[in-house]
Structure 1
Amino acid sequence: MRTLIDFDDAPVIAVPTAAGPRHAVLVEGPQGWGEFSPPPGADDALAARWLTAAMEPSTVGWPDAVRGRVPVDDGTRRPTVAAGDVEAAVARIADLRAEDIEFVLLECRDPAAARSVRRRADVPIAVDAALLLADPQCADLAVLRCGPSGGVRRAMRRAEKLGLPVVVQFTGTTSIGLAADVALAAALPQLLFACGPVPGWLAEADVVSEARSLIPRDAHLPAAPMPAAPDPVRLQRFAVTDAETVEHWRGLLRRAAAIL
């Protein structure tokens, strides 16, 4: 299906955020649009998973939704704690006990460290689903992210394999990418937790029309069968014109496509 997408002319965009510009490449296929926005420093293998996620809505489409809208959380009751130092992480979680927290998002690459923190913490611990595949006992909740998982279908298969409660964390840069996160949450058989958070910059820096921008209403976002197309005026506003930056992102896109 990648032969049906023109990677060489795919628009590269940059949206302003408090942490600096966020880049993405918008890919158009026979069914619509997708967003390719791996994090800075992503290698070709990780970029290939993000490209699979971007191609899914623009080619085969997403699985059918089982709910028409999904609840959204602002993240204030879900503090993130780094687990590079287990003792420091446990102490930080203990300090949070006085707050009304739902669970702790543990940033960790070592399943053994996550398991150690979980054993000593008295609040639910959530880690990336990939870490739980290495050790299903290292956390209470699995965090699903559409982009790095390789799309909605792959994320759903991962959740099914784990058999744990899941929470969907948004990874989209624009409403085109965010629509995939919402599609994942809308298609899961069970959705016990609200999703999110919605990027703070989206209200001022989106590439779709204002009417189609995924801004929460009543703490929910609507699920759609496909992302909205970019608005030409907004697309031009955020288009990257620097030739070196454009070539960097299109080069990463081409290398990712070569892996698929």
Structure 2
Amino acid sequence: MNAAPLPQLDDLLADVHVVGLPLRVRFRGIDVRETVVLRGPAGWAEFGPFPEYGDAEAAAWLRAAVDAAWHGYPAPRRTRIPVNATVPAVPADRVHEVLAGFGSDVGAVKVKVAERGQDLDDDDARVAAVRALLPEAELRVDANGGWDVPTALSALDRLGRYGLAYAEQPVPTIAGLAAVREGLAARGVPVLVAADESVRKESDPLAVARAGAADLLVVKAAPLGGVRRALEVVARAGLPAVVSSALDSSVGIRAGLALAAALPELPYACGLGTLSLMRADVLREPLRPAGGVIELRDAVPDPALLERHAVTAERRRWWLDRLVRVHALAAG
């Protein structure tokens, strides 16, 4: 799919807001999520690549924002999106507190594992706490590529006793994912392998599917260049897909919901409930799950909340400078 031309920079910057949204628990090493929301002819969109991402990687996030704000979203096939709860790498005694933020009827939970500075005992205790609280829920773990192959096989053999549906990005490379998948099968461990970073951070997002290295894909609209581009990746990969967020505001979650709503099949609950990890949002009624689902609706920021959560002048300048650089790179 060829990318549509970007709008002129002045048009892009005409209605831009940089906000900092505090989190309920530390996630990805941050306590406040900074992001940009902007408005175009078709509505609102979000540009929120994490600060450590380079401009080249951030260019896909800008194309995703432009696709949403200038062209809108594809027609939905469904209006109720099942979502999972997400448990960061918190101590086991905080699991109840985290899960309480996701409300009732949680049918699936993703548990972060392989956190730097922790060990497998910490992971085991966290997963065990989730299973004890939700004995019928579907469990997944997400290592964010934090293990090597032998560690992943040992860890998933141990954690698999809690009835894991799949392990998301247990190791960093495509070859490693293939080795883990083969090793789990050889050991008789019934845990599927999901690829996340090996889709969104690879120059070729279809390489992992061609290598037979994963059983399913985790797709995010922003790093893949937008909802339409993500739909194309899933279609060409020929694998089941789980739609996930990037710790977005409701504006970014709306893009994830649009992707989940447009997929031909949606066999897994999606990782789009992450607003339950935040203390604030740009909508008066954030796109949080209720009864295990999020209803598809528009996300229009409240002007008072945009003002209340605006970042400092210094941080605004940092984000706008970045936006200008990334626009020049993407346009070129």
TM-score of the pair, normalised by structure 1 = 0.91
Which among 184, 192, 195 is matched to residue 127 of structure 1?
A: 195
* 2:148 matches 1:85: yes
Per-residue deviation, 1:8: 6.5
The verdict on how the C-alpha distance between 1:181 and 1:125 changes in structure 2, with shifts beyond 3 A counting, is same
Check whether the contact 1:202–1:215 (CA below 8 A) recurs between aligned residues.
no
Rounded to whole Å, the distance in 1 between the matches of 2:306 and 2:164 is 38
Rounded to whole Å, the distance in 2 between the matches of 1:230 and 1:2 is 22
Q: 1:249 maps to which residue?
A: 319
Q: Deviations over 1:206-255 (max 9, x none)?
A: 10122xx111122111223xx422111211111012x2211111111111
Q: Deviations over 1:27-62 (max 9, x none)?
A: 111121101100121111211111111122211111
Rounded to whole Å, the distance in 2 between the matches of 1:29 and 1:107 is 38
Q: 2:302 maps to which residue?
A: 231
The share of aligned pairs that are identical, in percent, is: 36
5+ long unaligned stretches in structure 1: none
* 2:83 matches 1:72: yes
* 2:66 matches 1:55: yes
Q: Deviations over 1:152-198 (max 9, x none)?
A: 00000000110011111122521011000010000001111110141
Q: 1:220 maps to which residue?
A: 293
Rounded to whole Å, the distance in 2 between the matches of 1:66 and 1:138 is 29
Stretch of structure 1 that moved more, 60-69 or 72-81 = 72-81
Check whether the contact 2:141–2:166 (CA below 8 A) recurs between aligned residues.
yes
Per-residue deviation, 1:135: 3.3
Q: 2:177 maps to which residue?
A: 114
* 2:17 matches 1:11: yes
2:289 maps to a residue whose letter is P
Check whether the contact 1:47–1:252 (CA below 8 A) recurs between aligned residues.
no
2:177 maps to a residue whose letter is A
Q: 1:2 maps to which residue?
A: 7
Per-residue deviation, 1:9: 5.6
Per-residue deviation, 1:108: 3.6
TM-score of the pair, normalised by structure 2 = 0.72
The verdict on how the C-alpha distance between 1:107 and 1:5 changes in structure 2, with shifts beyond 3 A counting, is farther
Check whether the contact 1:35–1:54 (CA below 8 A) recurs between aligned residues.
yes
5+ long unaligned stretches in structure 2: 1-5, 86-108, 111-138
Q: CA RMSD in A?
A: 1.8
Q: 1:27 maps to which residue?
A: 38
Query: 5 Å matches for 1:66-215?
Result: 66-74=77-85, 75-76=109-110, 77-81=139-143, 82-121=145-184, 122=189, 123-128=191-196, 129-130=199-200, 133-136=206-209, 137-201=212-276, 204-210=279-285, 213-215=286-288
Check whether the contact 1:203–1:215 (CA below 8 A) recurs between aligned residues.
no
Rounded to whole Å, the distance in 2 between the matches of 1:41 and 1:203 is 21
Paired residue secondary structure (1:41) = coil
2:154 maps to a residue whose letter is A
Q: Deviations over 1:78-123 (max 9, x none)?
A: 1113354111111110111210222111244311111101111131
1:257 maps to a residue whose letter is H
Rounded to whole Å, the distance in 2 between the matches of 1:156 and 1:98 is 34
1:88 maps to a residue whose letter is T
2:251 maps to a residue whose letter is I
Check whether the contact 2:248–2:275 (CA below 8 A) recurs between aligned residues.
no
1:7 maps to a residue whose letter is L
Rounded to whole Å, the distance in 2 between the matches of 1:22 and 1:16 is 6
Aligned residues: 255
The verdict on how the C-alpha distance between 1:91 and 1:168 changes in structure 2, with shifts beyond 3 A counting, is same
